[in-house]
Amino acid sequence: MRMLVLLAAVAAVASGQTGPDILKKAAETYQSLKSYQFEAQIVTESVSESSESRSRSTRISAAVLPDRRRLESKGGQLSSLRVYDGHTVWEFRAGANQFARQDQATFKPPMMNTLSDPVDGYKALDKAEGARLLREESIEAAGGARPCWVVEVPSKFRPGGLMLDRSPTTYWVDKSTNLVLKESQSTRIKMPMMDAPQTNTATTTYTVARINEVLPDELFRFQPPEGAAEVAEFTTPFGGGSMLVGKRAPEFTLQDLSGKEIAASSLQGKPVLVNFWATWCAPCREQMPKIEEAQQAFADKGLVVLAINDGESADTARKYIDEHKYTFRVLLDRDKSAAGKFSVSGIPALFLIDRDGNVRAQYTGYNSALDLREELKKIGL
């Protein structure tokens, strides 16, 4: 195997091609596109000394320039769609089953934009610094075997915070079309509650790569899915928004740290604060003292605080709770079924439920300015 890799590298050098030359041709190809349809499978692998996980998602980007475009991500609660039809921008968030519309002439993507077009990045490959041709390699992509140039671009990332390191990005560029058919990059992180760093590797492989062809009009039409609600705007980057506010809280049954089952229906008649959290989540840890303050201040008025741990083991959750001497009840959402019912798209996620079992407020993420005592008035406290 090493010999084959060495021969491929020697052949690449002998070709007279260079990394910058290859990326320049790729950039020029993307810059000249009149229409395109790309579909890719993205495999993300997370590995540490004690754990390993793998997830898969699908990304679609299509356009008939200058004014029609489709961007779509499929995979779990974060599935979303944005369609530019030439007049209106339609956006759909699957986790919330909500959609919104905006005049295309004035539309600006949100600051936390979860639907970006990789074509925009590939147009700038000619500006990549330090590109190096590694080898020639044939890969299975876009419907067949494709001979590619394999080019590596060093990362400009500077370590800081939770991020320890980021690898170079490797691109597989089709020799015949100059299109990127595969790319891969790894990031090494160290969460405060992790015993060892974790390496996350994302590999994108294109299954469809059509350029400068006539594309079906259906790609650029939006039809709301059955039951989807239209909203003026989304209140979270992933669309969780105010989907549950004013509605009955979802039913769930979970075990606490002692193994006792708690059913949501058993809390009827009591005001409830539900908080989805995890020990590895820095914003969750920031918010926890405020949750404890609410527990201490309103327990005698009937407030029930349920801190629902997002997918961790009982030992991990118990260790953290005991270390910080928190007194609220912790429930274990091992399979994330409760998070799914609440359409939790990010943590921390906070829900205030009144005595009748209706959600009166919800918040995603930690906001240091949030006055929880004041917000609890919404459920009669």
pLDDT, mean of residues 326-335: 92
Longest dimension (CA), the chain: 79
* % of the chain exceeding 90 in pLDDT: 55
> What are the residue ranges of helices labelled H in 254-349?
282-298, 314-324, 337-341
pLDDT, mean of residues 363-368: 75
Q: Rounded distance, CA 184 to CA 281, Å?
A: 26
pLDDT of residue 345: 65
In Å, how far from its chain's centre is CA 188?
Answer: 17
Cis geometry, peptide bond prior to residue 271 (ω within 30 degrees of 0):
no
| Helix-then-strand count for the chain, H and E | 7, 20
pLDDT interval class at 337 (50, 70, 90): confident
Query: What would the two tokens of residue 34 be?
Result: 């009149």
Q: Is the pLDDT of residue 235 over 70?
A: no
DSSP string across 14-63: HTT--HHHHHHHHHHHHHT-SEEEEEEEEEEEEE-SS-EEEEEEEEEEEE
pLDDT of residue 222: 96
What's the N-to-C CA distance of the chain in angstroms? 68
Give me the amino acid identity at 88. T
pLDDT, mean of residues 250-268: 91
Q: Is 319 helix (H, G, I), strand (E, B) or coil?
A: helix
Block residue for tokens 């599935």? 79
Q: Is the pLDDT of residue 59 over 50?
A: yes
* % of the chain exceeding 70 in pLDDT: 90
Asked whether 348 and 341 are in contact (CB, 8 A), the reply is no
pLDDT interval class at 127 (50, 70, 90): very high
Lowest average pLDDT, out of 59-63, 108-112, 176-180, 186-190, goes to 108-112
Q: Is the pLDDT of residue 272 over 80?
A: yes
Q: Rounded distance, CA 277 to CA 352, Å?
A: 15
The DSSP call for residue 251 is P
pLDDT of residue 12: 56
* 321-325-326-328 Cα dihedral, nearest 10 degrees: 90
Lowest average pLDDT, out of 242-246, 256-260, 366-370, goes to 242-246
Q: Which of 5-14, 17-26, 222-231 has the highest mean pLDDT?
A: 17-26
pLDDT, mean of residues 118-139: 97
- Which candidate, 159, 151, 204, places its Cα nearest to that of 182? 204
Cis geometry, peptide bond prior to residue 348 (ω within 30 degrees of 0):
yes
Q: Rounded distance, CA 290 to CA 198, Å?
A: 29
pLDDT interval class at 239 (50, 70, 90): very low
Q: Which of 205-209, 326-330, 362-366, 375-379 has the highest mean pLDDT?
A: 205-209
Domain 253-379: which topology? Glutaredoxin (3.40.30)
Q: Which strands sit side by side in the sheet containing 304-310, from one edge to the other?
A: 261-263, 253-256, 329-333, 304-310, 272-277, 349-353, 359-364
* Mean pLDDT value across the chain: 87
pLDDT of residue 324: 93
CATH homologous superfamily of 2-230: Lipoprotein localisation LolA/LolB/LppX (2.50.20.10)
Give me the residue spans of the domains in the chain: 2-230, 253-379
pLDDT of residue 94: 79
> What are the residue ranges of helices labelled H in the chain?
2-14, 19-31, 118-122, 282-298, 314-324, 337-341, 372-375
pLDDT interval class at 283 (50, 70, 90): confident
Q: Rounded distance, CA 290 to CA 374, Å?
A: 12
pLDDT of residue 240: 45
Block residue for tokens 């610094």? 129
pLDDT interval class at 114 (50, 70, 90): confident
Q: Is the pLDDT of residue 9 over 60?
A: no
pTM assigned to the model: 0.64
Q: Is the pLDDT of residue 75 over 80?
A: no
pLDDT of residue 98: 82
Q: What is the torsional sign of CA 256, 259, 263, 269? A: negative
